[in-house]
Chain A
Amino acid sequence: MAISIQIDRVSREYGPVKALDDVSLDIKAGEFFTLLGSSGCGKSSLLKLIGGFDRQTSGRVAFDGKDVGDLPANKRPVNTVFQSLALFPHMRVAQNVGYGLRLKGLSGASLDTKINDALDLVELSGFGPRDVNLLSGGQRQRQLARALVMEPGILLLDEPLTGLDERLRQQMRDEFGRLHKRTGATFILVTHNQDEALSLSDRMAVMHKGRIEQVDSPARFFEAPANAFVARFVGIDTLLRPERIVSTGGQTEATVGGQTLQVRTQGTVDTAASIIAIRPDRLFVARQGLPHALTLTVVETTFRGLHRDLKLAFADGQTLVIAIEADTDIGQLSTGQQVPVGLKPDAAVLISSAGLPPAG
């Protein structure tokens, strides 16, 4: 039932603007895949190509290995949950949900059963005869019943949770996860919201300026961000420019502001275009005398509610931020004070500096 998708060197150009720039991607059958990126990164353009609402300038889109370039949207085994909702205002809830099935020639009792099953699935049982214009925001959001009832091999979700309040957003998010397990279809979610992407996806792709920066499982984005852009995007804000990088027998050490720290590397290292990403959750304020600790100067502390942000500077002016628990007993910290900072294993990773603005 679920269908795999092959995107092979696809570009979509609007005049001089490249919405998609030579994108290749393989999405497995039954996967929950997320396209993540800020607005204008090309994620929606890619979704349109999969849905058949647009044509690529070059490249190939295939379902289960079969080229679907000439297949119009109404013949593809794909259904979409639209950002704009697009419920038909002149039809009742049941008519909206059953529209696709009626086009397929279904009618009578079998049609009613399927509509009711779909409404049960999204917990809108008994809403069939209602006017769609009178549904609440959250109920309208369950328009995905209209797409689900088609039992599509691929379900596209185009920013379906934008504009919902936080509680409803979480509720619908859980629902997507549940429906994915129940239907077993390939789900593709487009979003700019990291939380949605991280909690739902089997794999996700971070896009930027029409290109895919990294495709991985959510956890890998934190363990090994592909470059500085991805690191920033997932919230690893501390990026340090090293003065020197020395590799000796499998161990790599980098020097920042005169102090040396252990860094993890992946693949070959281009020392000229590398930068150190430091995971904020693997830093801690150490006791005096801990080996391998950095000694940094306090710049400022900021109250954040459940935690405090401690901004510390290296000798050369580069800074990093540590989140410390509000009640951590480290005494009074005053600006200019020296603080020892410890790094847990794999706290620092050497990554490509691509996507980082030039040093100013």
Chain B
Amino acid sequence: MPRLSDLSLTWYAALPNDRALVGALQQSLMIATITAVLATGMSLLAALAYFELRAQRTAWFLTVILPMFVPGVIQGLALSAVFTRSGIKASSLTVIAGHLLWAMPFAFIVILTSFAAVRRSYLTAAADLGATRWRQFVDITLPLIRPGLISAFIFSFLLSLNEFTRAFYLAGRQNTLPVVLFGKMNSGASPVIYAMSGTIFLVSVACVALASMHFMLRLKLSPAGRALR
């Protein structure tokens, strides 16, 4: 049982020198960013298709969210088999492919929810005033679903950052952070991995605090916010 006097920042100080962990963190952040960008973009396209479709809506919806229902181990293994068979080497790209499959259904649902703000009559009115389909999208649809896009981006980023099973099967030379942490835990852990977890936790809390402060400030300045009070 450690005592209070055992508290120290030694392992935090040792963190930057642990090449394996820092490399894994960089890899994870890079993969999470690319996954988030791609998942948000593709989900936006999928949601637009859903908005335009009428009769085949349900079929399209189920198709897009289907990967959500496949267990991660099976998906990772299956993808790995498919990639090996077709001669594709495991790399960051294969991990991103696996993570896209994992994150896209969630991003799609989040964006679809935000489409509730887009009434068809707004688009008709814009067309009436001379807007082409593209201008309707840029001027009306995009601003209205922006909160959904931001949420979808954050959501897919976090889903990818924390993902273990698919990355375990699909990673190439450089493993992602969860895989590396898991490995270290099994082979007699050095307390550096706890320092890593602690750092990630603190940074996340700081990010959330900054974001809420930013939104509160904006609400205070906007006329809608003034009316709320």
Contacts and interface: CB of A to CB of B under 8 A. Distances in A.
Given A53-B124, A82-B125, A99-B139, A104 B227 contact: no
Contacts of B132: 74
Interface stretch (B104-112, B115-123, B185-193, B205-213): B115-123
Interface in A121-177: 130-131, 133-134, 146-147, 150
A134 B227 contact: yes
B143 A73 contact: no
A331 B73 CA distance: 96
A359 interface: no
A74 B128 contact: yes
Nearest to B128: A80
Given A78-B128, A99-B129, A104-B130, A86 B227 contact: no
A72 interface: yes
A88 interface: yes
B152 to A, nearest CB: 19
A74 B127 contact: yes
B57 interface: no
Contacts of B129: 74, 79, 99-100, 103, 146-147, 150
Given A89-B117, A99-B139, A82 B124 contact: yes
Given A89-B144, A103-B130, A133 B224 contact: yes
Interface in A300-349: none
Contacts of B127: 53, 72-74
Contacts of B143: 90
B79 interface: no
A207 B126 CA distance: 29
B contact patch SS: helix
A51 B124 CA distance: 10
Given A90-B143, A131-B223, A80 B135 contact: no
Given A131-B224, A134-B227, A100 B140 contact: no
Nearest to A146: B129
A131 B126 CA distance: 18
Interface residues of A, number: 28
A268 interface: no
Contacts of A82: 121, 124-125, 128
B131 interface: yes
Contacts of A80: 125, 128
A74 B132 CA distance: 6
A89 B140 CA distance: 9
A84 interface: yes
Contacts of B223: 130-131, 134
Given A99-B139, A130-B223, A134-B223, A74 B124 contact: no
Contacts of B126: 88, 99
Highest count of chain A CB atoms <10 Å: which of B124, B129, B140, B144? B129
Contacts of A100: 129-130
A82 B140 CA distance: 17
A88 B125 contact: yes
B144 A90 contact: yes
B127 to A, nearest CB: 4
Interface string A47-80: 0000101000000000000000000111100111
A79 B128 contact: yes
Given A72-B127, A74-B128, 18 more contacts: A53-B127, A53-B128, A73-B128, A74-B127, A74-B130, A75-B130, A78-B128, A79-B129, A82-B128, A86-B122, A86-B124, A87-B125, A89-B122, A99-B139, A100-B130, A103-B130, A134-B223, A147-B129
